[in-house]
């Protein structure tokens, strides 16, 4: 089995597009949540909260290059460009000789492509469609556009699995290298902001409606939480076979030690504590580690009651009450397909700097949640050797990743 390391990373987030800015906001507990006044036109939509990113088409991207890209794919492609630059692999021949593959996902494609098809059905006129409508809409638009843009011709693994799209992308990329099927993998996830995404959770009464208190929500694990907030963004990680990375003198951020994924097989939207715990245990088994080796857990932490309670009890059952834990979604909102990659990116960089962010807006832990060492109030200075990043999705899909400090 090959060892797998991370040699490049980049993210586009609601709290900044570079680590320096993101770190400042995490340390000062400045979130990216905003009141979306332009959503007032949607009758029946209860939430007016979201976490948008500052992003527009990169100036060096030509119209021809982006003709098949909606916002989802463009976020993914540009964050991948930054990650490849970070890994010193941009324009490297290894991208185009079969050595490199892609494992990347999003909850769905871009809604502008879907709207083209909807107009056809409503107007009974195919004139709304063009040659790229489906390419922008399709569930695997992100990895396909990444491959086309950079000429990557290894395997493509689409991971359109809602909230675990990014974490499954990392996990399956790790397995492809570990099993000697690829030498390098682009991994990650992206999603774009849309009121229709908010409406999905709104119909489940799972969104925060503190519309005039954007700075006080979401509140993962807090007794006064009232639901999640939708966000957008992208994060890309470059995974590489360890000896190949060392031979070319690459900077190594971390080593991936374990990956676990499973499904509940019980309910589409209600999380299951036992399945969550088993996914974490699968990651530990893959890493050949005992639970006491983990120093910090990056929580899924959506700020929904059922999710927070199940996740906290699954974590406590495996690690005990002294495990430090926090949720990045309190800053970025729930970035859906991007969250697994975005949270792994931040957790790795914090591990390398010996600190971890608190959960914003967590003032009083819900007594229904398990007792854990919830990081609140300010950053936690901590030298960690192993960290775990967990994500859980609609459909009962659970993921757990373990990273080792290098």
Catalytic positions are: 163, 300, 334
Q: Which residues make beta-bridge pairs with 355? A: 381
Which residue is associated with the tokens 């900044």?
A: 16
Distances (CA, A) of 206 to 41, 46, 171, 270, 298: 20, 10, 28, 11, 21
Both tokens assigned to 107: 């909850």
Chain center to CA of 139: 16
Both tokens assigned to 252: 């190594």
For residue 112, give the 3-state DSSP assignment. helix
Cβ burial 83-108 (10 Å sphere, 16+ → b, else e): bbebbebeebebbeeebbbbbbbbbb
Distances (CA, A) of 349 to 91, 159, 388, 390: 25, 24, 13, 16
Burial class (CB in 10 A: 0-12, 13-18, 19+), 140: buried
Both tokens assigned to 136: 């922008």
Contact 199, 255 (CB under 8 A): no
């Amino acid at each position: 089995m090959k060892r797998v390391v991370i040699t490049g990373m980049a993210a586009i987030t609601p709290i900044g597009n570079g680590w320096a800015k993101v770190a400042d906001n995490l340390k000062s507990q400045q979130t990216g949540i905003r009141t979306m006044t332009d959503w007032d036109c949607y009758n029946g939509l209860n939430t007016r909260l979201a976490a948008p990113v500052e992003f527009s088409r990169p100036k060096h991207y030509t119209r021809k290059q982006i003709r098949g890209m909606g916002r989802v794919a463009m976020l993914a492609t540009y964050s991948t460009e930054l990650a490849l630059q970070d890994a010193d692999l941009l324009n490297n021949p290894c991208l185009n000789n079969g050595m490199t593959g892609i494992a990347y996902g999003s909850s769905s494609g871009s809604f502008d492509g879907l709207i083209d098809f909807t107009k056809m059905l409503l107007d009974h006129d195919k004139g709304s469609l063009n040659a790229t409508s489906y390419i922008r809409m399709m569930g695997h638009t992100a990895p396909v556009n990444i491959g086309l843009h950079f000429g990557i011709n290894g395997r493509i693994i689409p991971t359109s699995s809602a909230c675990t799209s990014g974490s499954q992308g990392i996990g399956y990329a790790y397995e492809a290298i570990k099993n000697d099927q690829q030498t390098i993998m682009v991994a990650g996830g992206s999603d774009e902001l849309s009121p229709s995404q908010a409406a999905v959770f709104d119909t489940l009464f799972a969104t925060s409606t503190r519309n005039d208190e954007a700075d006080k929500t979401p509140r993962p694990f807090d007794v006064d939480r009232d639901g999640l907030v939708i966000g957008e963004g992208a994060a890309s990680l470059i995974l590489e076979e360890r000896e190949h990375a060392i031979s070319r003198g690459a900077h190594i951020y971390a080593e991936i030690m374990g990956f676990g994924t499973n499904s509940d097989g019980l309910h589409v939207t209600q999380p299951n504590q036992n399945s969550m715990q088993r996914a974490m245990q699968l990651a530990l088994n893959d890493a050949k580690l005992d639970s006491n080796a983990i120093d910090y857990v990056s929580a899924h932490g959506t700020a929904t009651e059922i999710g927070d309670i199940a996740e906290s009890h699954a974590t406590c059952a495996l690690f005990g009450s002294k495990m430090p834990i926090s949720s990045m979604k309190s800053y970025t909102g729930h970035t859906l397909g991007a969250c697994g990659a975005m949270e792994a990116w931040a957790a790795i960089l914090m591990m390398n700097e010996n600190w971890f962010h608190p959960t914003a807006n967590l003032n009083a832990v819900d007594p229904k949640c398990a007792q854990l060492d919830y990081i609140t109030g300010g950053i936690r200075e901590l030298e960690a050797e192993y960290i775990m990043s967990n994500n859980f999705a609609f459909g009962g899909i659970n993921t757990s990743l373990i990273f080792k400090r290098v």
